[in-house]
Structure 1
Amino acid sequence: MAQTIETSGPVYPGRVLQTGSSGSEVARMQTYLNALQKAGYPTLKTLTVDGQYGAATANTVKQFQALKGLSIDGKIGPATWNAIVAAYNAAYNGSADTWPGITLRSGSTGQDVRHMQMRLNQVATLYPGINKQTEDGQYGSNMSNAVRRFQSQFGLTADGQLGKNTWNAIVSVHNAESTTTPTQVTTPYSGTAMRTGSSGDYVRFLQSYLNALGAKLTVDGQFGTATSRATQQFQAKAGLPIDGVVGSATWAKLIPAFNGTL
């Protein structure tokens, strides 16, 4: 089971946020400052959470700095970052697992991307239909694939983007993974039967589910002889026609069988 780590923070991104900066770290600070307005700092001006560090964000940062006795420069260096994070976490029990406020997608970079790469890698230990990836803070094709494969298995729109619902679902599944009641998959039948020669995400899911039931397949999304044989073995145990083809009836038996191993 994965261990829950990096539950505090989020950590300073290593660069000063200031006028002209952009990205999820900026959006996170805008989100936090807006929340703090309702939690003991009523004079803070409300910000649009858009990930763009403009004059309004700089002015609200100055307000916060003045209230906390920090250097009033309108920039978010380590001291201001840590003060905002500490105030937010104290008021809302927040952490690095808190959604930053904007959708992360292909091309996004930074600590929030790296954090979710780590969370997805941890989730993939129990749900290996999700590909593992380098935790480099770069939202490329591997990240998009991992997010899409997570979404497909847990009832979310499979668009490969990290919006609020997907972010929170990843955190929830990760946290449940280290308990006695991991989250069950709800992977719907794809609508197309899988057989020798098939490929794609659903073959990855099939292979990972069969492995949990005792098979020893490479989870590569390629339906070859070994996958066909493992499918037939599952069908025999489940009282299904033994044809090595994964249609709706086989899929309907496979999902609860996999969930029973969690």
Structure 2
Amino acid sequence: MPIAPLAFRFQDRHIPCDGKAYLMGILNVTPDSFSDGGQFISLDQAIAHGHDLARNGAHIIDVGGESTRPGHIPVSTEEEIRRVVPVIRELSRKISVPISVDTSKAAVAEAAIRAGASIINDVSAGENDPDGMIAVIKKYRVGTILMHSQPLPPDAQRGDLAAHAIAAYFQQRLDSLCTATGLDKVFFMLDPGIGFRKDLAQNLAVIKHLGDFRALGCPVLMGPSRKSFLGRITGHDNPQDRIWATAAAAAACVVLGADVIRVHDLCEMRDVLLVAEAIATAD
């Protein structure tokens, strides 16, 4: 099925979203992320991994300083800035790959942008710090990824109904943010939030119905990497053992129209995306 051409703009740059699948490499500078917590906690480790991601084909590098796993311990704004800003500053000086900051705090987002980030990846879709985040998006004209992480309404628990409820949520957030920031929706990308307050059936429906989100006129990011729903299907409790399951989910996402796949295992997923993209765009 032909993919409707879209684009994602961030400051003075953009990426065309017309069938090509892009890789977002995960760089968590946290001690407690669900899969890679503590691996890149030092500045040298984080910088080295960022260079590896760029060298191995990442189109975006996503730097996060606070875990969003279930039961995570929140960190202060000051601590989150301390974790992410030196990494972003150093990477932005050395590589040309766009950098996103994974945060829902406006002060962290602004500090990261001033250090060289050009995309905000907000798990709260701008709702955690609404006035502050609107001001930052408007001031710097950054690209913003809006993720769905809200509880689903009681009448939308079934998988397909959950997907429709998420699409309605995104439409509301886009209308609100475009009006408040004065920016066109080309500055926004949608992430339906696989694994966030969703059961197995709902996660599978999110993937199956991702075209409903893209029909809103924004590119779609999918983040199935090593998620627990894959373990429920395969029986693998250890996130590190879910690479093949991630590959299957990532391939399905690309064939169904996803524009960006957020991954831990970039080298392996690069080949997966190339093959899935070739199949999806074949005549």
State TM-score, norm by structure 1.
0.23
Point out the structure with the larger strand share: 2
